[in-house]
Amino acid sequence: MAVAERTRTNKLTFFTYPSCTSCRKAKAWLAENGVNYEERHLFKNPPTAEELLDIIKMTTNGLDEILSTRSQRFKNLDVDINDMSVKELLEMLSEEPQLLKRPILTDGENLIVGFNSSAMKNLLS
């Protein structure tokens, strides 16, 4: 199936931040390939704790795949995430979306974190 003929019932959600270079690359790729998606500004309309749980369920490496441990925001945290419950962690990530890697692209069944054109092509084919 060609990308433009995408007929899956699940909509494509694109969590993005406009000044993020990887987000801009992913957005340009989606536009060049005629892909329809729902764009969500990661900081103005962050994923809820429930959405984050769904996202983590789609990962291969769990939280490590979406948590930006190299970010200054993470380094400034005065918490040990290993001491947090899953609920506390998900709520923190929803309230502090700067801690998430970006962009996040999902159709509800599959997940791409960061810009990866070959993974995007596979997701949409």
- Residues serving a catalytic function are 20
For residue 68, the SS3 value is coil
Buried b (16+ CB within 10 A) or exposed e, 104-123: bbbbeeebbbbbbeeebeeb
Burial (Cβ within 10 Å: 0-12, 13-18, ≥19) of residue 53: middle
Closest CA to 41 of 23, 55, 26, 58: 23
Query: Measured between alpha carbons, how far is 94 from 89 in angstroms, rounded to an integer?
Result: 9
